[in-house]
A and B are shown apart, each in its own frame.
Chain A
Amino acid sequence: MSNLIEVENLTVEFSGPSKGLFGKKGTPITAVDDVSLYIKKGEALGLVGESGSGKTTFGRALLRLQEPTSGQVKMHGQSGSKVITDLDAKSLRKAWQEMQMVFQDPQSSLNPRMTVMDSIAESLIVNGLAKNMEAAKPRVLEVAQSCGLSVDQLSRYPHAFSGGQRQRISIARALVMQPEFIICDEPVSALDVSIQAQILNLLIDQQQELDLTLLFISHDLIVVAYICDRIAVMYLGNIIEIAPTKDLFKLPLHPYTEALMSAIPSDDPDQQLMQAGISGEAIGNDATRQGCLFAPRCQYADKDKCQNVKPPLTEVNNNRLVACHYADKLTLNGFETI
Chain B
Amino acid sequence: MSQTSPTPNQPNMVAANKVKSIRRLDLATSRQLMWYKFKRHKLAMIGTGIIFVFLLLSIFPEFISTTKPQLRDPAYSSGPPTGIHIFDEEWQIHWPFIYGHKMKRHPVTLRKLVVLDTDTRVPIEFFVRGEAYKFLGFIPADLHLFGTLGTQIHLFGTDKLGRDIFSRTIYATRVSMSIGIIGVMAAFFIGLAIGGLAGLKGGWVDNVIMRLIEFIRSIPSLPLWLGLAASLPREWSATTVYVVVTLILAALGWTTLARRVRSKLLTLQNEDFIQAARLAGCSNYRLVTKHMLPSFMSYLIVDLTVAFPYILLAETSLSFLGLGMREPMVSWGVLLFSAQNVTALAHTPWLLIPGGFILVIVIAFNFFGDGMRDAADPYTK
Contact = CB atoms under 8 A, between A and B. Distances in A.
Contact of A108 (B26, B30, B271, B278): B271
A135 to B, nearest CB: 16
Contacts of B278: 65, 96
B264 to A, nearest CB: 14
Contact of B280 (A60, A159, A173): A173
Contact of A170 (B276, B282, B294): B276
A97 B281 CA distance: 8
B272 A103 contact: yes
A160 interface: yes
A104 B276 CA distance: 11
A326 interface: no
Interface residues of B, number: 24
Given A123-B281, A126-B281, A65 B26 contact: no
Contacts of A156: 26-27
B279 interface: yes
A144 to B, nearest CB: 16
A160 B26 contact: yes
A109 B281 contact: no
A12 to B, nearest CB: 15
B291 to A, nearest CB: 6
A111 B279 contact: no
Contacts of B215: none
Given A122-B282, A126-B286, A109 B27 contact: no
Interface in A95-130: 96-97, 100-101, 103-105, 108-113, 122-123, 126-127
A113 B294 contact: yes
| Main SS at interface, chain B | helix
B226 to A, nearest CB: 32
Contacts of A103: 272, 275-276
B205 to A, nearest CB: 16
Nearest to B274: A111
A180 B265 CA distance: 32
Contacts, number: 73
A97 B278 CA distance: 11
Given A157-B28, A157-B29, A109 B273 contact: yes
B295 interface: yes
A156 B24 CA distance: 9
Given A112-B30, A113-B295, A155-B27, A104 B272 contact: yes
A84 interface: no
A63 interface: yes
Contacts of A160: 25-27
A157 B25 CA distance: 9
Interface in B276-303: 276-283, 286, 291, 294-295
B225 to A, nearest CB: 30
A65 B279 contact: yes
Interface in A170-207: 170, 173
Contacts of B291: 111
B279 A159 contact: no
Contacts of B26: 156-157, 159-160
A15 to B, nearest CB: 13
B138 interface: no
B379 interface: yes
Interface string B23-48: 00111111001000000000000000
A112 B283 CA distance: 19
Contacts of B28: 157
A113 to B, nearest CB: 5
Which of B30, B272, B279, B379 has the most chain A CB atoms closer than 10 A to its own CB? B279
B271 A122 contact: no
A101 B267 CA distance: 20
A25 interface: no
A101 B25 CA distance: 29
Interface string B244-280: 0000000000000000000000000001110111111
Given A108-B271, A109-B272, A112-B379, A63 B29 contact: no
A127 B275 contact: no
Contacts of B281: 93-94, 96-97, 123, 126-127
Which of A100, A103, A110 has the most chain B CB atoms closer than 10 A to its own CB? A103
B280 A65 contact: no
Contacts of B273: 108-112
Contacts of B286: 126
Contact of B282 (A97, A108, A113, A126): A126
Given A103-B275, A103-B276, 10 more contacts: A65-B279, A93-B281, A97-B281, A100-B279, A110-B276, A111-B273, A111-B277, A113-B29, A123-B281, A170-B276
21 contacts: A65-B275, A65-B279, A96-B278, A96-B281, A103-B275, A103-B276, A104-B272, A108-B271, A108-B272, A109-B272, A109-B273, A111-B273, A112-B273, A112-B379, A113-B294, A127-B280, A127-B281, A155-B27, A157-B26, A157-B28, A157-B30
Interface of A: 60, 63, 65, 93-94, 96-97, 100-101, 103-105, 108-113, 122-123, 126-127, 155-157, 159-160, 170, 173
Interface of B: 25-30, 33, 271-273, 275-283, 286, 291, 294-295, 379
A-B complex: 6 closest residue pairs judged by Cβ atoms:
A160-B26, A123-B280, A109-B272, A103-B272, A156-B26, A126-B281
